Amino acid sequence: MYHNYIFDLDGTIINSSKEVLLCFEKAFEKANYKIDKSRLTPNVIGPPLNEIIKLIAPDIQETDVNIVVEYFRELYDFEENDISEFYQGIPEVLTILKNRNKKLFIATYKPEKPTMRIIKQFKLDKFDDIYTIDKFGKHITKTEMINDIIEKYSLNKSETMMIGDAPSDVICAKEAGVLAVGALWGYGENKEPLIKNSDIVINSANEILEIKERLANV
Along the 218 residues of the chain, how does pLDDT read in single tens digits? 899 999 999 999 999 999 999 999 999 999 999 999 999 998 888 777 899 999 999 999 999 999 999 999 999 999 989 999 999 999 999 999 999 999 999 999 999 999 999 999 999 999 999 999 999 998 899 999 999 999 999 999 999 999 999 999 999 999 999 999 999 998 888 899 999 999 999 999 999 999 988 887 76
22 and 91 assigned to the same domain = no
123 and 182 assigned to the same domain = yes
162 and 112 assigned to the same domain = yes
Question: How far is 149 from 97, CA to CA, in rounded Å?
Answer: 18
182 and 113 assigned to the same domain = yes
* Domain final residue, candidates 32, 54, 76: 76
pLDDT of residue 218: 64
* Domain final residue, candidates 57, 76, 95: 76
112 and 131 assigned to the same domain = yes
105 and 185 assigned to the same domain = yes
Q: What CATH number does residue 48 fall under?
A: 1.10.150
89 and 195 assigned to the same domain = yes
Cα angle 198-203-206, degrees, rounded to a multiple of 5: 110
User: What domain range includes position 125?
Assistant: 4-15+85-216
The domain tally of the chain equals: 2
Q: What CATH number does residue 207 fall under?
A: 3.40.50.1000
DSSP, collapsed to helix, strand or coil, labels residue 131 as: strand
54 and 107 assigned to the same domain = no
Residue 201: φ, ψ to 5°: -120, 150
153 and 101 assigned to the same domain = yes
Beta strand pairing call for 14-15 and 85-86: antiparallel
60 and 96 assigned to the same domain = no
117 and 149 assigned to the same domain = yes
170 and 121 assigned to the same domain = yes
Burial 38-77, CB ≥16 within 10 A → b, else e: eebebebbbeebeebbbebbeebeeebbebbbebbbebbb
CA dihedral 125, 129, 132, 134 (to 10 degrees): 130
